[in-house]
Every structure is written in C-alpha cells, then in structure tokens.
Amino acid sequence: MATSSAALPKAPVTESAGEPSERKPRRFGPSWFLVSPSVALLLLWMLVPLSMTVYFSVIRYNLLYPGENDFVGLENFHYFLTDAGFMPGIVNTLILVGSVLLISVVLGVLISALLEAADFAGRGIVRVMLVSPFFIMPTVSALVWKNLIYHPVSGILAAVWKFFGAQPVGWLAQHPLASIVIIVSWQWLPFAILILMTAMQSLDQEQKEAARLDGAGPIAIFWHLTLPHLARPIAVVVMIETIFLLSVFAEIFTTTSGGPGYASTNLAYLIYNQALLQFDVGMASAGGLIAVVIANIAAIILVRMLGKNLTEKY
Amino acid sequence: MLTLKQSRRLNTLVVGLFAWAIALLLFFPIFWMLLTSLKTEIDAFATPPQLIFTPTLENYLQIQDRSGYFKYAWNSVTISFGATALGMLIAIPAAYSMAFYETKRTKGTLLWMLSTKMLPPVGVLVPIYLLAKQFGMLDSRAVLIIIYTLINLPILVWMIYTYFKDIPRDILEAARMDGATLMQEMVRVLLPISKGGLASTMLLSLILCWNEAFWSLNLTSSNAAPLTALIASYSSPEGLFWAKLSAVSTLACAPILIFGWISQKQLVRGLSFGAVK
C-alpha cells in the first residue's frame, strides 16, 4: 500500500473520496484484529494441507517403501486417472449426488407443501418425525439400514417381499449403489423438508387467499406462488447438500466398503482406499487434488448461482 | 354435493392421512432401531421380524461391559464440547466485527469462508493424517477438536453474524458513549442480548461435531474414538449383535435427536447460512 501510494500519489485520495459513507472505526478499529484469527486459521487449514497434497502428488511416496521419494511429474495423476476404480468412482459420485439431490428436493417440496395444505391432527408430531432422520449419525443410519432393513434373511424388506410371495433381495449385494442412494436420501430428505417447511411458513397467506379468490386452483397456486417463493431455499438446499454429498464416506465404509468390485465406490472412498489401505500417498494425493478440482467446479457454479442471494439480504 | 365445510374437512382428512403415512414411513427405521434394542439377540434376528415380544433392558445393561460405551461417549462429549467452545471463542469476535464494523471486504470474506467448506475432506486427508502422525496426535482427542473447530468455523461465523445483524446498533453505540471498552461492550452488552442466538449456534455446532464421521473414522482407532467410530466397529462380520448395536445406537443418537427437536427452527437459520429464517 505504501509503495503504491508513493508511486501514485493520487490513488489514496480518490479511494477515500469514493467511500465517504464508511463508518469511522474508533481508535484503531477492532475490525482487523477480531476477524484475523478466523481468517488466518481458515487460510492455514486451506493452504498447508493443500500445498502438501500438491507436493505429494508429484513425488513417488508409498508408506510401504520409505525413502524412495523421487520426483515423478504427473505419473501419479496418470495412474490415478487410468486406475480401474477411477471411472466408476466418478460416475458413482455423480449418480449419488444427482439422485439424492433430485429425490430430496422433489420430495422435499411435495412433502412440505402437503404439510402446509391443511391443519390436520398431529401436525406437530408429523413434523418432528419427518425431520428426525437428519439428526441420526451417519454410521448409525448405515448400520440400521444394512442390518435391520436390507438384510436378505432377517431384514424388514425381506419380510415384506416374502409376504407378497416374492424372493427376498440381497439389496447391498445386488443393488449396492441404489441401496446407498436410498440410505443417503433418507438422511438428507429430512434436511430439505426442514428448510423448505420453514420457508413455506413465511409465505404470505393473504397473497394466497387473494389468488384463491381470483379463482386460482391449488395447483396454479403451488406453481405460480409457492414454487417461486421457494427458489431461494431450494438453492440453499442444493448448495449445502452438494457440499456434503460430494464427500459421502461413512455410509459406504460401513455398508459395502465400495464393493462388490467398484460398484459402490465413490471418489472419496477410492482416495481413502488408495491412501490408508494401499498406503500409496502419491496416488491418493493426486486423487485428492482431482476431488478438489471437481468440488471447485461445483462450488463456482453454485456460488455464482447463490452467492449474491445469500449476502444481498444484509 | 358436499358443502364447502364438508369438503374442507374431507380435504384435511386426506392430507392428514397422507402426511401421517409418509411420516411413519420415514420414521420407521428409527422406531425399529428402538424396538430392536429392547429385544434379545435371538428375537432380533428372528424371521419374520417380530413386532410383539417380551421387552428386555438387558442390552442396555450389557453395553458398558461388552463395548466400553462410556469411554466412547465421554470422547464424543469432550470432543464436541471442546470444538464448540473453541469455535465460539474464535467466531464471536469475527462475527462481531463483521456485523458492526462492516468494510468493503466483509462480504467477500464471508463468502470466502463459506467457500472453504467446499474443500472436500479427502483432498487433505493424506497430509492431515501424516501431520497428525508426525506430531504424535493420531488417535488423540486434540486432533479431532482442532479439525472440528476448523470445519465448523465458517458456519459458526455466518450464523452468529446473522444474529448480530439483527441487533440495533444504537444499543452498542449507547454503551460506547458511556465509555465501555471493547471487551465490556462485547461481554456486558452484546452477549446478554444475543444469548438465544448464540445458544442455538452452539447447539448446531454440537450436533455437527457429534455426528461427524469422516475424520473420526480415519484419525482415531481406540483411545480417542467417539461414538461414530464405536458404532462403525459393529459393521465387521463378527459383530452380528443387532440388539446391542441397536441399543448403542439408540443411546448415541437420543441426545442429539432431542436437541434437534427442541431447536428445529433455529437450526434452519444456521444450516441455511441465514438465508431462511
């Protein structure tokens, strides 16, 4: 700052003239030193491990062969991208994120609209029951589904299938990815309901009443009034869920361990597998960077979509 | 023909039936877990699954002997509360200055903080694991406290920021006129006004820490393992004790479930970064 103002003596003048409304901070203004711990810590949290990941990704580094840390260029990336698990990992990640988003947003909108449609008996209890799965820890939901519901002999679904005279299905063995999508949707649909239900309660009732008096049917009201009102909360749901869904781990770890084969391996699980089961730090780091790139692409799209939405209110 | 009143009533009935059916369906796994926790192991494994049985508390009584439940629960408690306290300590000043001394960089900083949440944990798994190993912090509660503080910090700052934004500036300015120092202003004026908002922020942080399962599974093995890791250990083939798994799970989830029920409304605000109130 000092050098630039010396070189361009006019710059500071225009700068301060450009913001006359800025509040004068008292004494030194606490602003800087109160924010800096948070910023510094988050910066550290981003930069240190990330630069280590970058470094590891271009050297040979396997914990089983210590000392052989030569520079290998992009070899790790090459191995990771051509690994048998890479394509399934990417595809499964996209399927998982996409289908859970679709299920939770569509059903979330419909269910919260249903709850607003009439004041029926026990609405409070219904609300509590609907949002409950969101508060269950991931390892518990995975194991409860795996053992008590999906189990091909003693699970609930097996009993239902037998009741209708059908052959029970080995859900996690035969349809591993679909089964995991259901478990994860079960956890995140309640989140969508929680957010959308609250948003819907702030919808102007008079507007709705006016539309009704003008002869709009319930579907027209839903389409032209409720849905536009929900645009912002839906965007929030999509953003938050994407962040968490890109890194689904515990549900796969405790149910299928990514198998059979790579049938239910997502990117997060694949990298974990490379790093902590095969001890190939170099390759896992290359994979980690690819995951970061993918998350950043998603983040750029989402923040463009929502960033303004989030801050403009304040 | 139905009268208007009758058709309204019919409408309510149909909507209610649908809503109850969906709610029961979604809640069923939790209900079934609770039920299984009250069965004997033999009943738990019976085909077809039994709805009527002689309930027993035996599983709950055996949890401590079989799996050392309290050690894990205590780890969960200390890690969650530690990370929450630390996070609040760092987040409150940041939110205070961003809410009351807004500069042209504030919005950018807030969005940047949010963007750090986009960093997938697998992207830094390897270095964090190796760093923890290097410093002898693998399988320690400290490492989880530090990581949970950092991953939840953006959410805490955002949530507290939106609560502080609702406070009229005049109150703080009045305190300042009376000669309150920065510290007095925060502790004597700001905290009492916003204690409801701060409490729900803490609750959200506790819930997120309690349920976190990526770092706890990867960085702990026995000493510092919280409940998420204890439950994951039941996934091994020899761990086919469904009734005990259900009992442990019920105990592990009950406090968070109750917290969640109590604070639904406030959680929405935090989880949506203040966009939905």
**What residues does B75 pair with on adjacent strands?**
none
Q: Determine the pLDDT at residue A11.
A: 36
The predicted structure's pLDDT at residue A12: 37
A23: phi then psi, degrees, rounded to nearest 5 = -65, 135
Which candidate in A147, A151, A248 is best for mutational testing of the B interface (most B CBs within 10 A)? A147
Q: Do A155 and B49 touch (CB under 8 A)?
A: yes
Partner-chain contact A272 B18, CB within 8 Å:
no
Contact between residue B94 and residue B157 where contact means Cβ atoms under 8 Å apart: yes
Percent of chain A scoring above 90 in pLDDT: 18
* pLDDT for the residue numbered A31: 67
pLDDT of residue A15: 37
Q: Please, what is the Cα angle at A254 between A252 and A259, to 5 degrees?
A: 50
Task: Read off the pLDDT band of A21 (50, 70, 90).
Answer: very low
> Does A271 contact B125 at a Cβ distance shorter than 8 Å?
yes
Closest CA to A96 of A294, A288, A275: A294
Q: What is the pLDDT of residue A64?
A: 76
User: Averaged over B30-57, what is the pLDDT?
Assistant: 82
**Interface contact flag, A121 B33, Cβ < 8 Å:** no
- Whether A39 and B11 lie within 8 Å, measured CB to CB: no
**Is A62 strand, coil or helix?**
strand
Q: Is the pLDDT of residue B237 over 80?
A: no
Minimal CA separation from B202 to chain A, in Å: 15
Q: Do B120 and A247 touch (CB under 8 A)?
A: yes
Domains of chain A by residue range: 86-264
Give the model confidence (pLDDT) of A98-133 as tens digits: 999 999 999 999 999 888 877 888 888 999 999 999
CB A181 within 8 A of CB A95: yes
Pick the residue from chain B with its C-alpha nearest to A247.
B120
Average pLDDT in chain A: 80
Tell me the shortest Cα–Cα distance from A288 to chain B, in angstroms.
4
For residue A13, pLDDT over 60 is answered with no
> Which residue would you say has higher pLDDT here, B168 or A26?
B168
Asked whether residue B5 is assigned to any structural domain, the reply reads no
Residue A237 clears pLDDT 50, i.e. is over it: yes
Q: Which of A21-30, A149-158, A304-313 has the lowest mean pLDDT?
A: A21-30
- Given a cut of 60, whether residue A14 has pLDDT beyond it is no
Alpha carbon of B271: minimum distance to chain A alpha carbons (Å): 8
Nearest to A310 among B28, B36, B275 (CB): B275
Which residue of chain A has the CA closest to B132? A49
For the beta carbon of residue B191, count every other beta carbon within 10 angstroms: 13
Return the pLDDT at A306.
66
| pLDDT band for position A3 (cuts 50, 70, 90) | very low
B1 located within any domain: no
- Among residues A144, A138, A140, the alpha carbon closest in space to that of A156 is found at A144
Residue A308 has pLDDT above 70, yes or no: no
Residue A303 vs residue A73, higher pLDDT: A73
**What pTM was estimated for this model as a whole?**
0.85
What residue has token string 């969101």?
Answer: A134
Pick from A38, A288, A311: CB nearest B111: A311
Each residue's pLDDT tens digit, B179-190: 778 778 878 888
Q: Which of A81-90, A207-216, A266-275, A305-314 has the least mean pLDDT?
A: A305-314
The per-residue pLDDT for A22 is 45
Residues of A in contact with B22 (CB under 8 A): 111, 114, 130
| Assigned domain for B162 exists | yes
Based on the structure, what is the number of domains in chain B? 1
Give domain status of residue B153, yes or no: yes
Q: Most A CBs within 10 Å: which of B10, B14, B20, B26, as the mutation test of the A interface?
A: B26
| Nearest residue of A to residue B104, measured between CA atoms | A22
Pick from B110, B117, B122: which is nearest to A268 by CB? Answer: B122
Helix (H, G, I), strand (E, B) or coil at A144: helix
- Nearest residue in chain B measured CA to CA from A143: B235
Tokens of A225: 């009034």
Q: What is the ipTM of this complex?
A: 0.86
- Does pLDDT of A276 surpass 80? no
Domain assignment present for B68: yes
Residue B15 resides in a domain: no
Structure tokens at A272: 């974990």
Instruction: For residue B252, give how far its alpha carbon lies from the nearest alpha carbon of chain A (Å).
Output: 8
Q: What Cα–Cα distance (Å) separates residue B71 from each residue in B49, B65, B66, B222, B241?
A: 32, 11, 12, 10, 20
| A272–B252 CB contact, under 8 Å | no
**Mean residue pLDDT across chain B:** 85
For Cα atoms B24, B29, B31, give the angle at the middle one, nearest 5 degrees.
70
Task: Report chain B residues whose CB lies below 8 A from the CB of A195.
Answer: 268, 271-272, 276
Are A129 and B27 in contact (CB < 8 Å)?
yes
Q: What is the pLDDT of residue B273?
A: 73
Question: Above 60 in pLDDT, residue B13?
Answer: yes
Among the partner residues A139, A194, A247, nearest to B228 by beta-carbon distance: A139
R_g over Cα of chain B: 24
Residues in chain B with CB shorter than 8 Å from the CB of A117 are 11, 15
Tokens of B55: 């309930």
Please give the angle made by the CA atoms of B255, A106 and B15, to the nearest 5 degrees: 75
d(CA A81, CA A38): 36
Nearest to B225 by CA among B248, B258, B244, B254: B248
Identify the pLDDT of residue A57. 84
**Highest averaged pLDDT of the listed ranges A112-116, A177-181, B139-143, B168-172:** A177-181
Asked if the Cβ–Cβ distance from A314 to B104 is below 8 Å, we say: no
Smallest Cβ distance to A137: which of B149, B213, B240? B213
Top mean pLDDT of A284-298, B72-86, B246-260 is at B72-86
A189 versus B55: the higher-pLDDT residue is: A189
Residue B42 lies in a domain: no
Question: Topology of A86-264 in CATH?
Answer: MetI-like fold (1.10.3720)
**Best to test chain B binding among A27, A41, A42, A182 (most B CBs inside 10 Å):** A42
Number of cross-chain residue pairs from A and B with Cβ atoms under 8 Å apart: 327
- Give CA–CA dist A153/B35, Å, rounded: 18
pLDDT-derived band at B30 (thresholds 50, 70, 90) equals very high
Mark yes or no for CB contact A140/B268 under 8 Å.
Answer: no
The confidence band for B169, taking pLDDT boundaries of 50, 70 and 90, is confident
Q: CB–CB of A129 and B129 under 8 A? A: no
Q: Is the pLDDT of residue A2 over 50?
A: no
Query: What pLDDT sits at residue B117?
Result: 81
Q: pLDDT band at residue A134, thresholds of 50, 70 and 90?
A: very high
Range of the domain at B70: 59-271
What does the pLDDT read at residue B2?
65
Q: What is the pLDDT of residue A33?
A: 77
Check residue A304 and give its pLDDT.
74
Q: Is B83 exposed, middle or buried (0-12, 13-18, 19+ CB in 10 A)?
A: buried
